[in-house]
Amino acid sequence: MNYDQVIDALQVLGAIPLNSEDSNFQRLVPACFEYAEGRIQRDLAFLQTDGVQSIILGPLMAEVELPETVLTVRSIGLSVFSSSAPTGNKRRIYPQRVSPEALDMFWPQPNFKPGPPKYYALRGRQFARTEDPSPLPPTTQPRQPEFVAERFVLVARFAPAPDRIYNGEVFGNIQALHLSDNNPETFISKLYPELLIACCMVYITGYQRDYGAQADDPARAVSWENQYQALKAGVKDEAGRLRGEGAGFTALPDANIAQQPRSP
């Protein structure tokens, strides 16, 4: 299903006018999809959201910011050339993840015995909100202050610090774009539309004041939550088989036990 089809289904199920006169519903649509798809992606491990983001380590560059789309890190691979020439044979190394405390204890300084990184640790870093007044000479007109929003990033710290330039790849869970008018299809809306609609309806029943015990229909939100949980169980099994994490690490569902006839 695409964006318009999902919106139509939600309006029908939620008894919302199809002529888009409910302006409050239209304003809540982006938050509804962020809630639903964000929850689904946190509840389930999809192969579609496992991806790779590139990083570059420079000489003595012990820390590097990871792309903001990286949610979890499973491994980091670095490319190493056997010679200084670009055409040299390339091999990959995978530093081992350790705690930040262990990294600081054994490699306190970036210039301490640089070489191919063997270990890495992850940290969070906060960049506070700032305001740049951009001062100009007195004879010019003042400009409006420039604001830089608060930002949080993941930082990977390596040890030993690189002795040369290394091209790296971060493998892990990558933030997928949510369903929107500018992004009319996602893998969830295409492969699991029933799960997406059920999760959206949990959110919409809250918008329609059906969460609390004093609401018009207190069982409505609970019913949609139960429907979401039932659908999630089937999707979890299918997503696990896609990742090869089914029974016996296969892509096949559980086989039915054969009913053996009794011997006389």
Q: Is the pLDDT of residue 240 over 90?
A: no
The arithmetic mean of pLDDT across residues 208-214, rounded, is 53
Q: Are 99 and 192 in a shared domain? A: no
Q: Is the pLDDT of residue 219 over 70?
A: no
Q: Are 146 and 89 in a shared domain? A: yes
Q: Are 112 and 74 in a shared domain? A: yes
Nearest Cα neighbor of 252 from 264, 240, 236, 263 is 240
Q: Are 79 and 36 in a shared domain? A: no
Q: At what angle do helices 23-43 and 193-207 cross, to 10 degrees?
A: 130
Does 36 fall in a domain?
A: yes
Does 19 fall in a domain?
A: yes
Q: Are 68 and 148 in a shared domain? A: yes
Q: Is the pLDDT of residue 201 over 50?
A: yes
Q: Are 112 and 206 in a shared domain? A: no
Q: Is the pLDDT of residue 243 over 80?
A: no
| Cα(88)–Cα(190) distance, integer angstroms | 44
Does 255 fall in a domain?
A: no
Task: Give the per-residue pLDDT at 264.
Answer: 58
- Is 147:186 a contact under the CB 8 Å cutoff? no
Binned at pLDDT 50, 70 and 90, residue 5 comes out as very high
The arithmetic mean of pLDDT across residues 219-229, rounded, is 83
Token pair recorded at residue 225: 């939550």
Binned at pLDDT 50, 70 and 90, residue 86 comes out as low
Q: Is the pLDDT of residue 250 over 50?
A: yes
Does 26 fall in a domain?
A: yes
Does 257 fall in a domain?
A: no
Token pair recorded at residue 50: 């496992």
- Please count the other Cβ atoms lying within 10 Å of the Cβ belonging to residue 144: 7
Task: Give the per-residue pLDDT at 31.
Answer: 93
Q: Are 138 and 229 in a shared domain? A: no
Does 75 fall in a domain?
A: yes
Q: Are 143 and 237 in a shared domain? A: no
Last residue of a domain, one of 164, 195, 214: 164
Does 249 fall in a domain?
A: no
Task: Give the per-residue pLDDT at 97.
Answer: 95
Does 247 fall in a domain?
A: no
- Is 154:66 a contact under the CB 8 Å cutoff? yes
Last residue of a domain, one of 108, 137, 164: 164
Q: Are 96 and 18 in a shared domain? A: no
Query: Mean pLDDT: which of 19-23, 24-28, 163-167 is highest?
Result: 163-167
Q: Which DSSP string corresponds to the chain?
A: --HHHHHHHHHHHTT--TTS--HHHHHHHHHHHHHHHHHHHHHS--GGGEEEEEEEE-TT--EEEPPTTEEEEEEEEEEEESSSSTTS-EEEE-PEE--HHHHHHH--STTSS--S--EEEEEEEEE--EEE-----TTSPPPPPEEE--EEEEEEEEESPPSS-EEEEEEEEEPPPPP-SSS---HHHHH-HHHHHHHHHHHHHHHTT-SSTTSS-HHHHHHHHHHHHHHHHHHHHHHHHHTT-STTSSSSPPPPPP-PPPP-
Task: Give the per-residue pLDDT at 214.
Answer: 42
Q: What percent of the chain lies above the pLDDT cut of 70?
A: 77
Nearest Cα neighbor of 29 from 209, 207, 251 is 207
Q: Are 236 and 216 in a shared domain? A: yes
Q: How many domains does the chain have?
A: 2
Binned at pLDDT 50, 70 and 90, residue 98 comes out as very high
Domain that holds residue 109: 59-164
pLDDT digits (tens, 9 = 90+) for 157-194: 999 989 889 999 999 999 899 999 999 999 999 999 99
From residue 42, alpha-carbon distances to 60, 107, 116, 201, 241 in Å are 36, 35, 34, 18, 18
Q: Are 121 and 187 in a shared domain? A: no
Q: Are 63 and 158 in a shared domain? A: yes
As a whole number, the mean pLDDT across the chain is 82
pLDDT digits (tens, 9 = 90+) for 49-80: 999 999 999 888 889 999 988 999 999 999 98
Pairing of strands 146-148, 119-127: unpaired
Task: Give the per-residue pLDDT at 78.
Answer: 93
